[in-house]
C-alpha cells in the first residue's frame, strides 16, 4: 500500500544538508539484545525504527488529557527521500495502529493496511479510533532536521483543540531517539566496561578472557547466562529460518524494479550433493545464503538486524558457513560467534554509526563484514588480537562504500552487496589467522576513519537515492 507522493516531488531540488550528529555516549553499556533484534524488512532504520517511533508516540498520545481525534506524521531527509521504497509510510501506519516489529506477522500486514486505507481511520495504539486520511503522512524530501538525517515528527490533534507533537530520530539498526527525552541511563554496572578495541584487548590481557566471554559476563547486568543463551539461540534460529525460507521462495520482489528472486534457482543449480562436497562452489553457497536472507528482507519478511536489515545477510551466511563447513562446529560455537560479532558491532555503534543515512553503506554492509570477520576468526580459534585484526580487515576494504539504492528499494545493489560482504568477511578471517595478530592499522583507527569518511561523504551517497547507481541506472 503506497500513500500518495506530494505534488512536484519528482522535480525536487536538493542540496547537502548541514547536520549535527546526535551526541553518543561511548561509555554507555550496550547489550547484545540491543544490537540483534528480530523484526521485519526491508530496512531497520527506515522500517523498523519508524514503526517503533510510531508505536511509542501512539502510547504517549493515548495518555493525553484530551483524546486524540487525528494524527499526522511528517517525514524528513532520508526517510522522505527513500521512504516509499523502504516502506517507511506503511511501517509508520502499522506502528500507530499498535504493532511492533517483533510482534507483527509480515503476511498479515497488507490486510491491516488495506482496512486502514479503505476506512480512513486507524485504531491508535490498537484501542482508539481516529481519523487517518490518505494525506496524514507528508514527505519532506528537501528538508533535513539538524540532529539526524532520519527525522520524523508526529502531531496529535485532540478533541479539545490542543495539539501535541513529538520528534523522533531513527539512528540505525532499528534504534530510535525521541527529541528532548532524557539520555538513556548509563549506570548499568557491567563487569567489564569497554569503549574501544584497545579496551577489549586490555581486558582480555588482564583476565585471560576471550572477547565473547567478556560480552557474556557483561550481559549478566541485564539477564542470567541461561537467558542470554536462550536469546542467542533464538537469534541464530531466526537467521537460519530466514535463509531456509529465502531459498524456498520464488517470484518477483515487490517495488516495481521487477527483480527476480535468485536464491531458489541458485540452490538448484549447485552441483555438489551438499555444501562443501564441491570445493569450487564453496563461495557460491555463501552467496546463496546471503542472497536468501536479503531477498526475504526486500520482500518484507522476518529478519534479524545484524546490525541492520540492509546488511542482514552477511552474518547469517558466515554463521551458516561455520556450522556447515567447519568440522567440530557446535551450538556453543554459534553463541561465541554472535557474542564476538556483537562486541565489534558495539564499538561501531559507540564510536561512529551503523546508519547508512549517516555513514553510507560502509556503516551497514561494511560493519556487518567487520563483525562477521571477527566472529569467524573467534570460532576458528583465533586469539583476541587475531579477532581484532580480522574485524579491522573487514572494514578497511569497505571504507567509502556508498548507499545508493535504485528506486529507494533495498534491492539493487543491496542484495548482491551482502554476498560480497560475506565472502570478504571469510577472507578477512583467514588472512588474520595466518598472522600473529600484530598489524599496522588498529580496529579503533579504522572505525574512526569510517566515521570521518561518512561525515565527508556527500549526502546523495547516504541513503537518499540522489546519486550513484540510483541516478545512473534507468528504472524499468
- Spell out the per-residue pLDDT of the chain, length 476, in tens: 444 333 333 333 333 444 445 556 788 999 999 999 998 999 999 999 999 999 999 999 999 999 999 999 999 999 999 999 999 999 999 999 999 999 999 999 999 999 999 999 999 999 999 999 999 999 999 999 999 999 999 999 999 999 999 999 999 999 999 999 876 555 689 999 999 999 999 999 999 999 999 999 999 999 999 999 999 999 999 999 999 999 999 999 999 999 999 999 999 999 777 898 888 899 999 999 999 999 999 999 999 999 999 999 999 999 999 999 999 999 999 999 999 999 999 999 999 999 999 999 999 999 999 999 999 999 999 999 999 999 999 999 999 999 999 999 999 999 999 999 999 999 999 999 999 999 999 999 999 999 999 999 999 999 999 999 999 986 54
Q: What is the pLDDT of residue 4?
A: 39
Residue 166: in which H helix or E strand, if any? strand 163-172
Sequence-distant (≥ 6) Cβ neighbours of residue 15 within 8 angstroms: none
Give the chain's count of helices (H) and strands (E). Answer: 18, 9
Length of the chain: 476
Residue 265: in which H helix or E strand, if any? helix 263-269
Q: What is the pLDDT of residue 182?
A: 77
d(CA 24, CA 17): 20
> Which triple of cell numbers denotes residue 306?
545484524
d(CA 261, CA 239): 18
Q: What is the pLDDT of residue 8?
A: 36
In degrees and rounded to multiples of 5, residue 8 shows phi and psi of: 75, 10
Q: What is the pLDDT of residue 3?
A: 42
d(CA 413, CA 409): 9
User: Which ranges of 270-353 would DSSP assign to H, the alpha helix?
Assistant: 282-298, 314-325, 331-351
Domain with CATH 1.10.4100 in the chain: 197-461
> Which triple of cell numbers denotes residue 87?
516502506
d(CA 163, CA 98): 21
The residue ranges of DSSP E strands in 28-162, in sequence order, are 38-40, 68-77, 121-124, 128-131, 137-140, 150-158
Sequence-distant (≥ 6) Cβ neighbours of residue 137 within 8 angstroms: 3, 72, 73, 75, 89, 92, 93
Domain with CATH 3.30.1330.90 in the chain: 43-178
Q: What is the pLDDT of residue 10?
A: 36
Using a 10 angstrom Cβ sphere, with 0-12 exposed, 13-18 middle and 19 or more buried, the burial of residue 179 is middle
Q: Would you give the end-to-end CA distance of the chain in angstroms?
A: 20
CATH of 197-461, one of 1.10.4100, 1.10.287, 3.30.70, 1.10.10: 1.10.4100
> Which triple of cell numbers denotes residue 210?
576471550
Buried b (16+ CB within 10 A) or exposed e, 425-439: bbbbbbbbbeeebeb
**Ramachandran assignment for 132, one of left (phi > 0), alpha (psi -120 to 50 degrees), beta (any other):** beta
Q: What is the pLDDT of residue 27?
A: 87
Q: Which of 303, 313, 428, 445 minimizes the C-alpha distance to 375?
A: 428
Sequence-distant (≥ 6) Cβ neighbours of residue 469 within 8 angstroms: 404, 405, 406, 412, 413
Q: What is the pLDDT of residue 2?
A: 40
CATH of 43-178, one of 3.30.70.2190, 3.30.1330.90, 3.30.1600.10, 1.20.1250.20: 3.30.1330.90
51, 70, 97, 152, 297 from 124: Cα distances, Å: 13, 9, 5, 18, 27
Q: What is the pLDDT of residue 277?
A: 85
d(CA 363, CA 374): 16
Which three-class secondary structure state does DSSP give residue 157? Answer: strand
Residue 172 CA to its chain's centroid (Å): 6
Tally Cβ neighbours within 10 Å of residue 134. 9
Task: Assess contact for 428 and 378: CB atoms under 8 A.
Answer: no
Amino acid at each position: 500500500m503506497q500513500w500518495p507522493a506530494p505534488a512536484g516531488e519528482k522535480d525536487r531540488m536538493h542540496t547537502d544538508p548541514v547536520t549535527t550528529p546526535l551526541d553518543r555516549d561511548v561509555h554507555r553499556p550496550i547489550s547484545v539484545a540491543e544490537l540483534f533484534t528480530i523484526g521485519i524488512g526491508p530496512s531497520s532504520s527506515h522500517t523498523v525504527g519508524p514503526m517503533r517511533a510510531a508505536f511509542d508516540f501512539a502510547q504517549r498520545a493515548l495518555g493525553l488529557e484530551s483524546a486524540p481525534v487525528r494524527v499526522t506524521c511528517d517525514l524528513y531527509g532520508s526517510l522522505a527521500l527513500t521512504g516509499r521504497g523502504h516502506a517507511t509510510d506503511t511501517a509508520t501506519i502499522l506502528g500507530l495502529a499498535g504493532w511492533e516489529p517483533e510482534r507483527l506477522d509480515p503476511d498479515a500486514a497488507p490486510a491491516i493496511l488495506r482496512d486502514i486505507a479503505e476506512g480512513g481511520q486507524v485504531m491508535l495504539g490498537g484501542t482508539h479510533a481516529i481519523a487517518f486520511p490518505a494525506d496524514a503522512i507528508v514527505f519532506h524530501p528537501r528538508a533535513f532536521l539538524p540532529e539526524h538525517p532520519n527525522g520524523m515528527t508526529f502531531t496529535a490533534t485532540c478533541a479539545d483543540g490542543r495539539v501535541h507533537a513529538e520528534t523522533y530520530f531513527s539512528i540505525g539498526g532499528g534504534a530510535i531517539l525521541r527529541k528532548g527525552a532524557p539520555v538513556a541511563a548509563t549506570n548499568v554496572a557491567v563487569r567489564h566496561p569497554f569503549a574501544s578495541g584497545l579496551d577489549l584487548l586490555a581486558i582480555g590481557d588482564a583476565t585471560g578472557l576471550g572477547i565473547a566471554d567478556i560480552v557474556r559476563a557483561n550481559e549478566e547486568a541485564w539477564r542470567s547466562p541461561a537467558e542470554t543463551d536462550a536469546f542467542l539461540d533464538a537469534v541464530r534460529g531466526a537467521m537460519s529460518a530466514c535463509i531456509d525460507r529465502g531459498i524456498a521462495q520464488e517470484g518477483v520482489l515487490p517495488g516495481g524494479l521487477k527483480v527476480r528472486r535468485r536464491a531458489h534457482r541458485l540452490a538448484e543449480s549447485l552441483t555438489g550433493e551438499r555444501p562443501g562436497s564441491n570445493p569450487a562452489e564453496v563461495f557460491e553457497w555463501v552467496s546463496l545464503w546471503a542472497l536468501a536472507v536479503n531477498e526475504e528482507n526486500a520482500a518484507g519478511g522476518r529478519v534479524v538486524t545484524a546490525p541492520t536489515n540492509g546488511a542482514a545477510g552477511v552474518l547469517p551466511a558466515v554463521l551458516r558457513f561455520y556450522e556447515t563447513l567447519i568440522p567440530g562446529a557446535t551450538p556453543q560455537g554459534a553463541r561465541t560467534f554472535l557474542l564476538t560479532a556483537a562486541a565489534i558491532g558495539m564499538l561501531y555503534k559507540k564510536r561512529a554509526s551503523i546508519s547508512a543515512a549517516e555513514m553510507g553503506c560502509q556503516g551497514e554492509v561494511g560493519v556487518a563484514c567487520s563483525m562477521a570477520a571477527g566472529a569467524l576468526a573467534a570460532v576458528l580459534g583465533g586469539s583476541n588480537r587475531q579477532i581484532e585484526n580480522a574485524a579491522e580487515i573487514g572494514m578497511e576494504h569497505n571504507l567509502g562504500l556508498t548507499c545508493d539504492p535504485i528506486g529507494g528499494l533495498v534491492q539493487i545493489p543491496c542484495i548482491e552487496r551482502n554476498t560480497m560482504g560475506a565472502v570478504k568477511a571469510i577472507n578477512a578471517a583467514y588472512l588474520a589467522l595466518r598472522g600473529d595478530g600484530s598489524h599496522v592499522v588498529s580496529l579503533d583507527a579504522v572505525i574512526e576513519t569510517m566515521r570521518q569518511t561518512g561525515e565527508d561523504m556527500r549526502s546523495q551517497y547516504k541513503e537518499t537515492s540522489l546519486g550513484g547507481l540510483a541516478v545512473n541506472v534507468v528504472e524499468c
